[in-house]
A and B are shown apart, each in its own frame.
Chain A
Amino acid sequence: NAGVMQNPRHLVRRRGQEARLRCSPMKGHSHVYWYRQLPEEGLKFMVYLQKENIIDESGMPKERFSAEFPKEGPSILRIQQVVRGDSAAYFCASSPPGQGGNEQFFGPGTRLTVL
């Protein structure tokens, strides 16, 4: 059973370009979470999705950021018109259905650098 997959692992963009980050959850997992990690700041929740639904996007900036988890294919985190402050490691995590005490399984992350 393959783990959570993220691609690309490293992404370099110039200011004003778009960044598109992909996450394929573990097989059988229908819950996907996106986090941003900056040095000295820990892990910040961005958005929680289930198939075709955004459940909670309270951690995501209102402007330029969007996320989706379509019926088929990976979850996508999209950042439009990137700025230098968007440079960070972005992690995706998945968990199985159910609200119980399920742990999350994390991908290796995408490291975004904005020049």
Chain B
Amino acid sequence: AQSVAQPEDQVNVAEGNPLTVKCTYSVSGNPYLFWYVQYPNRGLQFLLKYITGDNLVKGSYGFEAEFNKSQTSFHLKKPSALVSDSALYFCAVRGEGSYIPTFGRGTSLIVHP
């Protein structure tokens, strides 16, 4: 079985400050990890993924995520938040032997001007 936890329903940050959106996972074997962003009334949009290799993964719009195997975490980060980053963020995991990813419940990021 595989599962994802996003412990924060909402994250508030001031524009220009660094942001972190947390994600922990559980999966058998090696994980494939993903972050997606959803703007209002839109579908999910892929941000970045970890398959193998460097633990720090860089993605779209200046976002990055750090894979930590010992803590089974894949937190999303950005050094300097923008108001336009305000959206719903989803973490997802898929085990090596699975076609179907499991999504977290989502974290609403609000960046204040």
Residues of A within 8 A of B (CB): 4, 6, 31, 33, 35, 41-43, 45, 48, 55-56, 91, 93, 99-101, 103-109
Contact = CB atoms under 8 A, between A and B. Distances in A.
Interface of B: 32, 34, 36, 41-46, 49, 51, 90, 94, 97, 99-106
Contacts of B102: 45
Contacts of A33: 100
Helix, strand, loop or mixed for chain A's interface?
A: strand
A110 to B, nearest CB: 10
A48 B94 CA distance: 14
Contacts, number: 53
Contacts of B106: 42-43
Given A91-B44, A103-B34, A104-B46, A31 B90 contact: no
A6 B42 CA distance: 11
B103 A108 contact: no
B100 A56 contact: yes
Contact of A56 (B36, B90, B99): B99
